[in-house]
Amino acid sequence: MEENSSQTTSQSSSSQSNPFLIGDAIEPEVELDNEKDDDEIPQALTESYSEITLLRKFCENPSAEEDDGASGRKRPDSLIVDEWMKQMDGTFARDGNLTHFVAENLEQKIKLSSPVTGKYASSGGSKMNTPSANALPKNFMLPSHLTQVDSNVLNDIEIEASYLAASVDNLTENLQSLLHSISSITADNVDCYKNAVNKLTDCMDANIKHMYTIMAKTEEISNAMKPVEELATKVRDLKKLVDLFESNL
């Protein structure tokens, strides 16, 4: 009884001292879930999975890390990062107490630094390293030369292209007929303008001719009126004589 009580007290103290410890009743289910998920995860684990595994290791054996830290080197008071940063690919600069470092090809370095499991490292595939790759359809994960094209899509494209070609032909025919009608209208307008100009010139010529004939007739009339003036002078003289006779009578 004393041994059982000591075991229960040790188990309760260990569970209270380590809140991250996972119980024995939960570990088999987690292992079964991990075995089921091994077939569904992509080629490389993400940082979230690696953090979960490290947390589980720390919970299962928290003294291992303390032993490693105790047996390791002593932590230095200051870090000499100048030589270390100069050896890396990037731009290094100092501004007083501030140190500026701009890395080159940061995206490629992040991809290379992601952990890869031994099960999927040998395959050498090019699948995505994020858990969202499971949500993508298989056609997006396949190479471009293995993707299949639906024949119905090609048939629909061909039908739509034929409809488009027929519409373009009808449009060109309608445009041609409109251009012919416009050209005929312009030709009729040119003919009307030409006829109007010809008739106007004919009318102007006739008016000029009539003007000259009127001028000739007026000259003839003026020449014919010369004896009338002589008769008018004679009539005046006769009128004077008549006036004298009346005055004497």
First to last CA, the chain: 198
**44-53: long-range contacts at Cβ-Cβ below 8 A with a sequence spacing of 24 or more?**
44/114, 44/115, 44/116, 44/117, 44/120, 44/129, 45/114, 45/115, 45/116, 45/117, 45/129, 46/114, 46/129, 46/130, 46/131, 47/114, 47/115, 48/131, 50/115
SS3 category, 32: helix
Paired with 44 in beta bridges are 116
The pLDDT assigned to 132 comes to 46
| Residue 99, strand partner residues | 94
Give the pLDDT of residue 83: 66
Would you state the pLDDT for residue 149?
63
Confidence at residue 82, expressed as pLDDT on a 0 to 100 scale: 62
Are the CB atoms for 7 and 94 separated by under 8 Å? Answer: no
pLDDT digits (tens, 9 = 90+) for 188-211: 999 999 999 999 999 999 999 999
pLDDT at 205: 95
Cα 157 to Cα 159: distance, rounded to the nearest angstrom: 5
CA within 13 Å, CB half, 248: 6
Amino acid letter, residue 142: L
pLDDT value, residue 106: 75
Using alpha carbons, select from 124, 142, 130 the residue that is nearest to residue 42.
130
Q: What is the pLDDT of residue 192?
A: 96
What does the mean pLDDT of the chain come to? 70
Q: What is the pLDDT of residue 45?
A: 46
- pLDDT (0 to 100) of residue 24: 44
| E strand residue ranges, the chain | 90-95, 98-103
Walking along the chain (249 residues) 10 residues at a time, the average pLDDT comes out as 46 45 43 48 50 57 50 59 67 78 76 62 47 47 58 88 95 96 95 95 95 94 86 89 86
* C-alpha pair distances (Å), 87 with each of 10, 41, 83, 90: 51, 36, 6, 9
Model confidence pLDDT, tens digit, residues 133-155: 444 444 445 555 556 667 788 88
